Chain A
């Protein structure tokens, strides 16, 4: 049994009256790629945001390895760990946003070095060498002095991936990393993620790219209405779904 990087149990989250996560349990193992699929509004982004401390859960339990992030009984209010623990947890994950969120006032290089220097307290030389190595990996070596506004969406997203990787996360989350891109640019991002999967980077990818989920991930979760409806081997779930809801959802993809 592989070591678990993240485990979440029974997490619930509401926005006002709107119950968005209604008791989700999942775990992420070291070195695996987990894809999360599901219709719009099913709570996929909220799940990632709760896992990355951008949103607070109402109840349930989330832990990264032996670091407890939050815990709380249903109906109560989840207790979050003390700030230093949360800060330690933040070093465990990275997040790649749908719309990149690069820092527009920093060059590509500085986008990747800033957190290494300010947060990970690396020297400028070390941070730059890490950044250059990653830029080479995502195929943007010649762009280190460019500004985000001078790059295509696909290039910006590759910089965002490099920025997240530079912090050496145990697990990297992607929230629809290709949705904001023109179709001809999605390939370059998927190629980078595929490359990372080959290196056994632990990743959780929310995606609408079914072929990608099927071919690259080790496990797929299908979410609907704030619940996990089906979970398992990607080929099984995507080609032979058991649940009617999964079938209905996937049918729409096969049509297009």
Chain B
């Protein structure tokens, strides 16, 4: 059995074990990038969406320009721009932190558009009913609009989250050693496809978890229409 596996994988199991441990450690980098991006871009996106819908024209235009640039150019170029162009490293940002900044700004743009569609999808009558009952603007937003918004945006948000899982691999362009970067390095060193395969499985598991979380959340919110 062991011999079969070793010949199948083209390397001895001890090496496979070592690779696995190394890759699991590095997966933390990917997870960090994923979670920090969400932590900042989810609220930032909401602020951007509200700004985009503001009646103050200059702000609207500024945000439109931001959305166009962020969604209209590749994230990979944005990463290069932040590290090599703006040289954030000189201002004390690590490569990882620079990647987080670029990811947050990029994903906030996508989230903003999802939020905006969601906010506009909540019928005006809901706001009017709240207004007549005397709810303040912020009460109306947080108690009436936001909960309905969350339900509406879950499916497109799920897509973005899954894309983000895979997009984290782009950070290697500014030499953040995340799981894809490590996989391709090990692939060269060991002349084996096994590390790449492991990385693939890692992304798959992560996305399966994300997908499960979203379908659970959607079920939870299924109690109303």
Which chain A residues have a beta carbon within 8 Å of chain B's beta carbons?
Answer: 52-54, 87, 90-91, 93-95, 97, 99, 101-105, 114-115, 118-120, 147-149, 163-164, 167
Contacts and interface: CB of A to CB of B under 8 A. Distances in A.
A101 B139 contact: no
B224 A87 contact: no
Given A104-B224, A105-B148, A118-B143, A91 B134 contact: yes
Interface stretch (B61-69, B106-114, B124-132): B124-132
B151 interface: yes
A134 to B, nearest CB: 14
B135 interface: yes
Interface of B: 123, 125-126, 128-135, 139, 143-144, 147-148, 151, 223-225
A90 B148 contact: no
B133 A105 contact: no
Contact of A114 (B143, B148, B223, B225): B143
Interface centre among A93, A94, A95, A104 (most CB of B within 10 A): A104
A159 to B, nearest CB: 12
Contacts of B132: 52-54, 90, 93-95, 164
Given A103-B144, A105-B151, A115 B128 contact: no
A105 B135 CA distance: 16
B131 A101 contact: no
B131 A53 contact: yes
Contacts of B148: 104-105
Contacts of B125: 97, 99, 101
Given A97-B128, A147-B223, A105 B147 contact: yes
B135 A54 contact: no
Contacts of B135: 115, 118-119
Contacts, number: 60
A104 B143 contact: no
Given A118-B139, A119-B134, A119-B135, A101 B225 contact: no
Contact of B126 (A53, A87, A94, A103): A103
Nearest to A86: B134
B133 A115 contact: yes
Nearest to B151: A105
Given A114-B143, A149-B224, 9 more contacts: A53-B132, A114-B133, A115-B133, A115-B134, A118-B135, A119-B139, A120-B134, A147-B223, A149-B225
Given A114-B143, A147-B224, A101 B134 contact: no
B134 A148 contact: no
Contacts of B143: 114, 118
Contacts of B128: 54, 97, 101
Contacts of A114: 133, 143
A200 B223 CA distance: 38
Nearest to B125: A101
A93 B131 CA distance: 11
Contacts of B123: 101
A119 B128 CA distance: 15
Interface centre among B123, B133, B151, B225 (most CB of A within 10 A): B133
A118 B134 CA distance: 9
A21 to B, nearest CB: 18
Contacts of A95: 132
B225 A97 contact: no
B133 A104 contact: no
B224 A163 contact: no
B35 to A, nearest CB: 28
A81 B118 CA distance: 33
Nearest to B131: A54
Interface centre among A53, A54, A103 (most CB of B within 10 A): A103
A241 B42 CA distance: 61
Nearest to A173: B132
